[in-house]
Amino acid sequence: MPVCLENVSYSYKAYEGGDIPALRDVSVNIEDGEFIGLMGHTGCGKTTLIQLMAGLLIPESGKLLLNGEDINGKGYDRAALRRDLSLVFQFPEYQLFESTVEKDLAFGLKHSGLPRDEVKARTKWALETMGFSFEKTRSLPPLSLSGGEKRRLAIAGALVTKPRFLIFDEPIAGLDQMSSQSFMETVSRLNSEGTTIIMVSHNADALGEYAKRLLVFDCGALVMDGTVADVFSNIEKLESLHLKAGTPRIIADILSRRGIPVPETVTSYSGLLGALKSQLKGAQTP
């Protein structure tokens, strides 16, 4: 069930008149099971792109296809789009509003037509997927939870429909290191189980650790598209866009230029540590 963008463009209306281009002739295919990171400075078009994917905006030109169907075409089943694709906004915890955790999650299935037992089963699965105990949490007021718990609960709310595509807009912004790592590990597990992940993030280290492919935007145009290793190895290109590769890739590049060769495929701290251990082992071999 791939997502396909064909020559998509979008502009916002300026207060003083005229248009402000947000996306310019973007074409890209996203296949089932990918973990894609979207990079670029604020205002480059990333958030506009994911809102178009979710059907919240309509392109001024071009098409967005889900499983070969134009999501903005006449007669398209928008309910199918909501089932297959969920968008989690930045600071999603601000969207919690029901009196209990269980009611808040079940709200997303209000018009699903599912029997009550299935609704309960899905809310239980979503909570446990995000690390909660269903019995201990179900009756709590959402606003009584900690900041990190609220973030995880809001994401559980996006999971109850069991979407094939899960889109995040800066999901780890404002989280401490431990909460960020726990969240990214959960998302990575969902991806390994078949959910396609599309994530906007300024955290290059997190994308380098968990994403498999990067799309880099500049002034509304898609300027780089490749594996994380391919994109991060082009440090000069990223610097020309006022962006940086992840810290492990930068360290690896510095070491390589100083005579300690580290493969260009290294994009994570674990990969960097493994490469350095191999170097040390080789140096100690008689």
pLDDT tens digits, 174-221: 777 887 888 888 889 889 989 999 999 999 999 999 999 999 999 999
Strand order in the sheet with 69-70: 19-30, 3-13, 61-66, 69-70
Task: Quick: pLDDT tens for 15-67.
Answer: 777 788 899 999 999 999 999 999 999 889 999 999 999 999 999 999 999 98
Check residues 86 and 93 and name the one with the higher pLDDT.
86
Query: Edge-to-edge, what's the strand order for the sheet holding 213-218?
Result: 85-88, 165-169, 196-200, 35-39, 213-218, 221-227
Is the distance from CB of 53 to CB of 134 less than 8 angstroms? no
pLDDT at position 37: 96
Task: Give me the pLDDT at residue 163, please.
Answer: 87
**What pLDDT is attached to residue 138?**
87
pTM here is: 0.87
Domains detected in the chain: 3-245 (3.40.50.300), 246-286 (no CATH)
pLDDT confidence of residue 111? 65
Contacts made by residues 126-129, CB under 8 angstroms, sequence distance 24+? 126/156, 126/157, 126/159, 126/160, 127/101, 127/153, 127/156, 129/156, 129/159, 129/186, 129/190
Positive or negative, the Cα torsion across 181, 187, 188, 189?
positive
SS3 88: strand
Is residue 112's pLDDT more than 80? no
The answer to whether residue 259 scores a pLDDT higher than 60 is yes
Smallest Cα–Cα separation from 111: which of 80, 142, 152? 80
Q: Which amino acid, one-letter code, is at 195?
A: T
Could you say which DSSP state residue 107 is in?
Answer: G
Rounded Cα–Cα distance for residues 282 and 279 (Å): 5
Q: What is the rounded distance in angstroms from the CA atom of residue 211 to the CA atom of residue 174?
A: 20
- Asked if residue 39 lies in contact with residue 214, where contact means CB atoms within 8 angstroms, the answer is yes
Tell me: pLDDT of 285 over 60.
no
The angle, 0 to 180 degrees and rounded to 10, between the axes of the packed helices 269-284 and 247-257 is 30
Q: Rounded to an integer, what distance in angstroms lies between the CA atom of residue 271 and that of residue 210?
A: 12
